[in-house]
Amino acid sequence: MPRPLQRVIAAQRTSDGAGVTLYRSLGQSQFARLDPFLMLDEFGSDRPEEYIAGFPPHPHRGFQTVTYMLEGHMLHEDHLGHRGHLRSGGVQWMTAGRGIIHSEMPQQEHGLMRGFQLWINLPAREKMCPAAYEDIEAKRIPAVSADGVTIKLIAGSIACGGKTFSGPVSGVTTQPIFFDVTLAAGATFSETLPVAHSAYLYVFEGELSIAASDSSCVSLPKRHGGVLGEGDALVVMAGDAGARFLLLAAAPLGEPIVQYGPFVMNTREEIDQAIRDYQSGRLVATG
Ligand code: MN
């Protein structure tokens, strides 16, 4: 049974970091989360004043951040001297775990900067694990095309033409699916999804149509996210201008969430501890 569209979340224009303009759908309030997803930001501008100040050093604890760069060039540097260049089509999958302090800075002074940052929660038992990174170049991300549908697989697998294709990210407890799907005008995309996964669509070009729970057909325009209801498959159709969207799905954790800015833990006490650790320089300590 296809999953119906259960809830629409319009992205809100906001700014974060040192003044980067972005469009936030998940995470715009604590009522706009979808376990285990905490936040989804789209950034996209050809005006350097809307991105150039970037994200100077800031901490994270207790979750993962996934940065997917569609256009542009960002330099990532952390407190340990880890450096990563994120270029068009590339992904950085970062596990903050116990803690990192990093900066994410644009490396271009003109031109288009465009991409996404997704925050995925970690289960309680992994929140204090050591920080880890996976820097994935565009060439490691498989693209599968058929019948007006092109899917870039960042995490998760699909079967196509008797073969199975998998994204480069694996071994994440929440078993995330992260696809960038492009549909030609009028094309239909259908794919099975694990029944127990939370599932979310975020349209960033064109328009999609999808069945609602009363079986009527609803349209999901650009810069709108859709939370999907129960079922075992996704069926969507592109409008006359085609569509491009992120398909995000993962196993929910079902654990309490207490968030204070860039710290996401299970209890108020753990948040207080994170703040104390940060203030005393122990956020990133090991052991
Ligand atoms: Mn960050």
**C-alpha 60 – ligand 1 centre gap (Å):** 7
Instruction: State how many domains the chain has.
Output: 1
For the chain, what is the total number of helices (H) and then of strands (E)? 1, 24
Whether residue 13 lies inside any domain: the answer is yes
Contact 5, 218 (CB under 8 A): yes
**C-alpha 147 – ligand 1 centre gap (Å):** 38
- pLDDT tens for residues 72-85? 999 999 988 889 99
Query: Radius of gyration over alpha carbons of the chain, in Å?
Result: 19
DSSP conformational letter for 279: H
**C-alpha 67 – ligand 1 centre gap (Å):** 9
pLDDT at 11: 98
**C-alpha 284 – ligand 1 centre gap (Å):** 14
Whether residue 44 lies inside any domain: the answer is yes
C-alpha 191: how far from its chain's center?
19
Mean pLDDT of 123-129: 97
Asked if the model's pLDDT at residue 60 lies above 90, the reply is: yes
Contact 61, 96 (CB under 8 A): yes
**C-alpha 39 – ligand 1 centre gap (Å):** 12
**C-alpha 95 – ligand 1 centre gap (Å):** 11
Whether residue 34 lies inside any domain: the answer is yes
C-alpha 26: how far from its chain's center?
9
pLDDT at 76: 95
Contact 227, 34 (CB under 8 A): yes
Q: Name the token pair of 148.
A: 């007006």
pLDDT at 23: 97
Q: For the chain, where are the alpha helices, taking DSSP H only? A: 268-279
pLDDT tier, 230 (very low <50, low <70, confident <90, very high otherwise): very high
**C-alpha 59 – ligand 1 centre gap (Å):** 7
Contact 208, 250 (CB under 8 A): no
pLDDT at 213: 83
Q: How far apart are CA 259 and CA 148, in angstroms?
A: 41
pLDDT tier, 18 (very low <50, low <70, confident <90, very high otherwise): very high
pLDDT at 115: 96
pLDDT tier, 253 (very low <50, low <70, confident <90, very high otherwise): very high
pLDDT at 286: 58
Its pTM stands at 0.96
Asked if the model's pLDDT at residue 264 lies above 80, the reply is: yes
Asked if the model's pLDDT at residue 138 lies above 90, the reply is: yes
Q: How far apart are CA 139 and CA 141, in angstroms?
A: 5
Asked if the model's pLDDT at residue 287 lies above 60, the reply is: no
- pLDDT tens for residues 40-51? 999 989 999 999
Assign 3-class secondary structure to 153-191: EEECEEEECCEEEECCECCCCCCCEEEEEEECCCCEEEE
Whether residue 278 lies inside any domain: the answer is no
Residue 162's domain comprises 5-250
pLDDT at 122: 98
**C-alpha 130 – ligand 1 centre gap (Å):** 16
**C-alpha 88 – ligand 1 centre gap (Å):** 18
Whether residue 236 lies inside any domain: the answer is yes
Whether residue 267 lies inside any domain: the answer is no
Whether residue 225 lies inside any domain: the answer is yes
Spatial neighbors of 170 by CB under 8 A, at least 6 apart, are: 155
Which amino acid is located at 176 in the chain? P
Mean pLDDT of 16-22: 93
Contact 134, 143 (CB under 8 A): no
Whether residue 255 lies inside any domain: the answer is no
Q: How far apart are CA 35 and CA 99, in angstroms?
A: 21
The CA–CA distances, whole Å, from 95 to 119, 123, 157 equal 10, 12, 21
**C-alpha 102 – ligand 1 centre gap (Å):** 6
Residue among 129, 51, 147, 97 at smallest CA distance from 264: 97
pLDDT tier, 66 (very low <50, low <70, confident <90, very high otherwise): very high
**C-alpha 161 – ligand 1 centre gap (Å):** 39
Asked if the model's pLDDT at residue 237 lies above 80, the reply is: yes
Q: How far apart are CA 8 and CA 178, in angstroms?
A: 19
Structural element, H or E, at residue 251:
none
CATH assignment at residue 129: 2.60.120.10
- pLDDT tens for residues 166-224? 999 999 999 999 999 999 999 999 999 999 999 999 999 999 999 888 888 999 999 99
**C-alpha 53 – ligand 1 centre gap (Å):** 14
Spatial neighbors of 204 by CB under 8 A, at least 6 apart, are: 42, 44, 222, 223, 244, 245, 246
Q: Average per-residue pLDDT in the chain?
A: 95
**C-alpha 255 – ligand 1 centre gap (Å):** 23
**C-alpha 14 – ligand 1 centre gap (Å):** 16
**C-alpha 133 – ligand 1 centre gap (Å):** 12
**C-alpha 245 – ligand 1 centre gap (Å):** 23
**C-alpha 86 – ligand 1 centre gap (Å):** 13
